[in-house]
Amino acid sequence: LTVAFFATHAEDPHPDQFLPQPESMKLYKDVTIPVPANATQESWERLPHFFDAKNEGRNRWTWRFDTPEKFQRMMKNYYRLATEVDSTCGRVIAELEKQGVLDETLVIFTTDNGYYHAEHGLADKWYPHQESIRVPLIIRDPRMPKGVKGKTNDEFTLSVDLAPTVLRAAGVTPPETMQGIDMSVLYLETDESVRWRDEFFYEHPTLRNADFIPASEALVRKNWKYFYWPEQEVEQLFDLKADPREENDLAKDPAQAERLAEMRKRFKELKEAAK
């Protein structure tokens, strides 16, 4: 069974963008939503030179986040939508429990993309920053040991891992052509020598034209990230440990020349392998 929601998507033509149910409007009324530290004009100006008013991420920022008052209104409605999704998922879980099949059911909660909430002066998604490419993933697996339940795991999982995980849980061997890995090894295997990915290749195509939404690619590691903007032939390099908000581009730093060359080479290898 797949349960998919329109929330928390925006209604793009609507001036209010995020449209919760009327009964949700009482939620978060007296809450002040924190503004991200990199939701600033300075962060916008640190983006590559080809980001300008024609960029759709910036355009949608003006729809949603260009004043403090608008930010609060939009984000409260966004979180109201998220709470509606959460409540509905709770109803599904309760029904599984009522039918006596919850402990025979693998439950996976995830989404299709991350989201800028004014970070870097942007809205929506499309680019390789952490805010855009990281997505929620919650797994409730009846086979999971008690000592693992409720804990987080910082390994890199990808959307391509979903199908092999579901197939293995159903007793089906995934085809060799599938790129993903059964994620259950991260919580069922007690052998700490289980090898998992430590990097991945990311790509997003041009939408409409390079002014509107330019193509972007990246090599992502735990502590470092290499960006490549193919249409403009622009490289960026970020130290995610020292600079988790990706504000300080080190691509032109002579001290990082060797690292840049190594990541550029590995990026090209993974890109070629993805063809």
Tens-digit pLDDT profile for residues 12-63 = 999 999 999 999 999 999 999 999 999 999 999 999 999 999 999 999 999 9
Where does 211-271 show beta strands of DSSP type E?
216-221, 224-229, 234-239
CA distance 29 to 61: 22
251-257 average pLDDT score: 98
Q: How do beta strands 224-229 and 137-140 pair?
A: unpaired
**pLDDT the model gives residue 142:** 95
Task: Flag whether pLDDT at 229 surpasses 70.
Answer: yes
Task: Name 246's Cβ contacts closer than 8 Å, sequence gap at least 6.
Answer: 38, 120, 129, 130, 225, 238, 240
Structure tokens at 65: 């986040």
Q: How many whole angstroms separate alpha carbon 235 and alpha carbon 119?
A: 20
Rounded to an integer, the average pLDDT of 196-209 is 96
Mean pLDDT of all residues in the chain?
A: 96
Tokens of 130: 């952490």
Q: What is the mean pLDDT of residues 57-74?
A: 97
Over pLDDT 90: what percentage of the chain?
Answer: 95
Q: How far apart are CA 250 and CA 140, in angstroms?
A: 40
pLDDT digits (tens, 9 = 90+) for 144-197: 999 899 999 999 999 999 999 999 999 999 999 998 999 999 999 766 667 899
**Cα separation of 36 and 41, whole Å?**
12
